[in-house]
Structure 1
Amino acid sequence: MITVEYCRTMARYNAWQNRSMTDVMRSLKKAELTKDRGAFFGSIFATANHLLWGDQLWMSRFDGGIGPSVAPKDHLKLHDTLDAYLSDRMRTDARITRWAQGLTQVSLIGPLTWYSGVLEREVSKTKGLCIAGFFNHQTHHRGQIHAMLTAAGHRPGDTDLFIMPDGD
């Protein structure tokens, strides 16, 4: 379903897009970040926290490391300050990149099994499906944030994959 190169490319894309998004977020006042904009998770900041929380949860499943520091019910409040969020975002992006760099084609084969708090049961799916879903989840929620930033009068960077710098 997927290749190592796909994972590495998407990890680079994730980090590149997060840098672009957080560059704009840095320019916003807290009230702008936390304003309810009618999106699924309300605000830019709540959506960013959800995205980071999800990245950390999936990475704990993929690499066996530590998951998010808050319970699922608190995922929108993973961080209460932009500085704490930005620091954790950068660490998580580096973790995703390291994980992708260490993959082999064999490591993408087989099932991934975990307990889903959302479904309240054990789930087992192919690793390829889970990894593709992981990267899709990132793109989906960054798209929501991009739309909110644009609607608020800001200009986030380009999102097209073919525009991503080669050495990024």
Structure 2
Amino acid sequence: MTVLHYFQSQAKNNAWANYRLLSSCQGLSQQELVAERAGFFPSILLTLNHLITVDWFYISALEGKPLGIRAFEPEYPFTEFAPLFEAQRLSDCKLVEFVEALKPAELSRTQTLREDKSLREQVDRILLHLFQHQIHHRGQLHAMLSGTSVKPPQLDEFFLGNEMEQNARREDFAELGFSEEGIWGGREEPRE
């Protein structure tokens, strides 16, 4: 596996994990979504809002159009679940498309995070941070779901290659437009 393929696989795994989590959250009532729970953000809906606004912050920076703190205005833009789910799916697609279009040398390019504070960071570090951030808060959401009427989905796996695992994610992949070949198909990095 090449470094670029690693980042491409992580972006798709991130989108898949978000899809699984949000698909489970669809079964929650509004009352369950907003109920106070233990976590850094004290409800499922607030935590989901945090995930999307942080995505907007970092993905806009990766694209060279940093929103900076405007990404958090308002801090919790969604009061209803359906538009939040759609926004997260669009954000995940945007991230996958960004990473799929990267060339190896672009991973070390420096991007502006916040123009008002002249914060800059390398693309590979932004991506690693964003993936870790998502994993961290999805874990909190998983724990929060344990106290609801909805069973938390399995989120602690990557794309294992055995047939049983592939069959278990077939419907999710169809919904996301992913394929096993697209993830592990032995693509080579483009030459510069």
The TM-score with structure 2 as length reference comes to: 0.75
1:128 paired residue number: 124
Larger Rg: 2
Aligned residues: 163
Once residues 16 and 69 of structure 2 are traced to their aligned partners in structure 1, the CA distance between those partners, rounded to angstroms, is: 24
1:41-95: CA deviation from partner (whole Å, max 9, x where unpaired): 10011000100110111100001357499652532x2211111111111111111
Question: Structure 1 stretch 51-60 or stretch 120-129: which is displaced more?
Answer: 120-129
1:33 maps to: 33
Q: Tell me the secondary structure at the aligned position of residue 96 of structure 2.
A: helix
Q: Is the 8 A contact 1:34 1:44 kept in 2?
A: yes
Q: Deviation string for 1:21-42 (max 9, x for gaps)?
A: 1111110100100111021110
Q: Distance in 2 between matches of 1:114 and 1:10?
A: 21
Alignment of 1:52-71 (within 5 A): 52-65=52-65, 67=67
Letter paired with 1:44: I
Letter aligned with residue 42 of structure 1:
P
> Counterpart amino acid of 2:32?
E
When residues 68 and 50 of structure 1 are mapped into structure 2, their CA distance, relative to the original with a 3 A threshold, is farther
Distance 1:98 1:59 in 2: 11
Q: Structure 2: where are the runs of 5+ without partners?
A: 167-177, 181-192
- What is the RMSD of the two structures over their aligned residues, measured on CA atoms? 2.5
Map 1:1-168 to 2 at 5 A: 3-65=3-65, 67=67, 72=72, 74-75=74-75, 77-115=76-114, 121-159=117-155, 160-163=157-160, 165=166, 167=179
Counterparts in 2 of 1:69 and 1:84: CA distance versus 1, 3 Å: farther
Letter in 1 for 2:87: D
Amino acid at match of 1:95: K
Q: Which runs of 5+ in 1 are unaligned?
A: none
**TM-score (structure 1 length as normaliser):** 0.85
Preserved CA contact (<8 Å) 2:58 2:113 = no
Q: Percent identity?
A: 25
| Superimposed CA distance per residue, residues 126-165 of structure 1 (whole angstroms, 9 cap, x where no aligned partner) | 3222211011111111111111112325322222114474
Q: How far apart are the structure 2 equivalents of 1:51 and 1:6? A: 22
